[in-house]
Structure formats: structure tokens, C-alpha cells
């Protein structure tokens, strides 16, 4: 038996990256999965989920559009017979500095990452309040809890997701609803690959070394943390921002030589 066998799960951003990985893992662990995205999910994902015993239930929606979100979530709840857990993985990135950042670009990034999180939470919570149970996992970022240069709109939106999560945990705990968020480091997804396309040649390695494990994370590693938060193993966890970051937020590692010279064999 899987860790969430017989439960129902709604995953947003299901067509790639973290959302796709969550859909696969949740299905492997016995959940019936419904997906929401602006793009059709890969054919292979549907086949893999079908192999677990359930068909993928998919709904197309732009998470900035409240009517579309409301309709998609109601349809998913109907198809699944209720929504036990949600992983809101849909998001976007951007770059720029404040004095030259176009207002439309600010709106795009904030609307997708923060407003979208609010809209998904709003319409999922309607169902969970009726059930008097549920687990909602939002996806923030390490850049939602620490600063990051040249991404003021992304930082602001992801920081807002953390505080939104805490507010929701406070307001809905009395209904048996747990609300948490994940704060991934840099994860090897199509979104990160697109960001790196126009970056300097050494940018990838410098970004990897900013993590104490000196590599990017894998979507499957974030999915494992999301599964934990939605499972009974986390039954007393709510209002928590869990970093899945390979040590990115552990501190600043200075490349200082030890007395007598640096010994790379010493941790």
C-alpha cells in the first residue's frame, strides 16, 4: 500500500518540472490524480498514471483567471469525488532590476506566482472546509525566504506565498486543514533551463556551487517532500515553510584556506 493510497490529489503545473514529478509520485503512492495546467500534459505522464490503476483527470486553466480556476477545481472535485490534497506547483520566473523593470512584467510574475496561489487556495479551500479535512502545499522558493539579486518581482511574489501559507494555516486549522509550503533551491526543470539559456557560460556552475551539495535539485526530490507533507507522516505539521535546497540557505560558504593550507578532504 502506498503512503496516500485511496486519496485524491490535485496537482497544478502538471505538464512539466515539479508538477509532473509530483503527479508521478502521488500516483505511484496510490492517489487518484487530477491535473491543472495551461498546457496538455505529456502523453507519457498519462500512460504512467494509468499504469498505477487510475486515469489522469486533466483540466486546462490559466491560474490568473479566477473563473477558469474555480471551474477547473470544481470539475476536478467532481471527477475525483473530493480533493484530499493539493500541490500547487504552477509558476513562472523572470529577471530584471527594479528601475528598469517593465510594469507588465512585474504584473505577469506576481500574478502567476502570488495571485495564482491565492486563487487556487481560495477555491480548493471551499471543498476542504466542507470535508473538514485536507492538505494544501504551496510552492514558494528559497528566494521567498532569502534575498536574490535581479529578481525583485519573483522575490516579492514568492515571499508573499510564504506569508499567505501561514495565514491560511492559522485560519483553516480549525477545520482540520493543514497548509504548508515548499521552498526549493534551484531545481533542474525546463524553467531553470530557459533561465540559463541567456546566462554567462559559467553561471550554471556558480549556481550549483551556491548549494552545499554543489548540484541542482531534481524535481523528484521536491515531489518526495510534497508527498511527506500530504501524508499522515506530517499529520501535525502546518504553517511550515520546508526548504528543499541542498543547503542553499544554510549560510555563506567562504572559500577560506585552513591554517597550513586548504585540505579538500576535510568537510
**Alpha-carbon span 88 to 13, nearest angstrom:** 7
247 CB burial (10 A radius; 0-12, 13-18, 19+): middle
SS3 sequence of 70-102? HHHHHHHHHHHCCCCEEEECCCCCCCCCHHHCC
- Burial class of 30 by CB neighbour count within 10 A (0 to 12, 13 to 18, 19+): middle
C-alpha cell at 141: 522558493
Catalytic residue annotation = 154
Q: 49 and 55 in contact (C-beta within 8 Å)?
A: yes
DSSP string computed for 187-236: B-SHHHHHHHTTS-TTHHHHHHHTSTTSS-B-HHHHHHHHHHHHSGGGTT
Whether the CB-CB separation of 69 and 61 falls below 8 Å is answered with yes
Look up cell 520566473; give the residue.
Answer: 93
Amino acid at each position: 500500500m502506498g503512503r496516500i493510497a485511496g486519496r485524491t490529489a490535485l496537482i497544478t503545473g502538471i505538464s512539466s518540472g515539479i508538477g509532473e514529478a509530483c503527479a508521478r509520485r502521488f500516483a505511484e503512492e496510490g492517489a487518484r490524480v487530477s491535473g491543472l495546467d495551461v498546457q496538455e500534459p505529456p502523453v507519457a505522464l498519462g500512460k504512467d498514471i494509468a499504469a498505477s490503476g487510475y486515469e489522469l483527470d486533466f483540466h486546462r486553466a490559466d491560474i490568473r483567471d479566477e473563473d477558469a480556476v474555480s471551474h477547473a477545481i470544481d470539475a476536478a472535485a467532481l471527477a475525483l469525488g473530493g480533493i484530499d490534497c493539493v500541490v500547487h506547483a504552477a509558476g513562472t520566473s523572470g529577471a530584471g532590476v527594479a528601475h528598469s523593470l517593465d510594469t507588465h512584467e512585474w504584473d505577469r510574475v506576481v500574478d502567476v506566482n502570488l495571485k495564482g496561489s491565492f486563487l487556487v487556495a481560495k477555491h480548493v479551500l471551499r471543498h476542504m472546509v466542507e470535508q473538514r479535512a485536507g492538505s494544501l502545499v504551496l510552492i514558494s522558493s528559497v528566494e521567498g525566504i532569502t534575498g536574490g539579486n535581479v529578481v525583485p518581482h519573483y522575490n516579492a511574489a514568492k515571499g508573499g506565498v510564504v506569508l499567505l501559507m501561514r495565514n491560511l494555516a492559522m485560519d483553516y486549522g480549525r477545520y482540520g486543514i493543514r497548509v504548508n509550503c515548499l521552498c526549493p533551491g534551484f531545481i533542474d526543470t525546463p524553467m531553470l533551463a530557459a533561465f540559463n539559456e541567456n546566462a554567462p557560460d559559467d553561471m550554471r556552475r556558480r549556481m550549483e556551487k551556491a548549494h552545499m551539495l554543489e548540484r541542482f535539485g531534481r524535481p523528484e526530490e521536491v515531489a518526495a517532500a510534497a508527498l511527506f507533507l500530504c501524508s499522515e507522516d506530517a499529520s501535525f505539521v502546518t504553517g511550515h515553510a520546508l526548504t528543499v535546497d541542498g543547503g542553499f540557505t544554510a549560510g555563506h560558504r567562504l572559500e577560506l584556506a585552513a591554517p597550513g593550507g586548504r585540505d579538500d578532504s576535510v568537510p
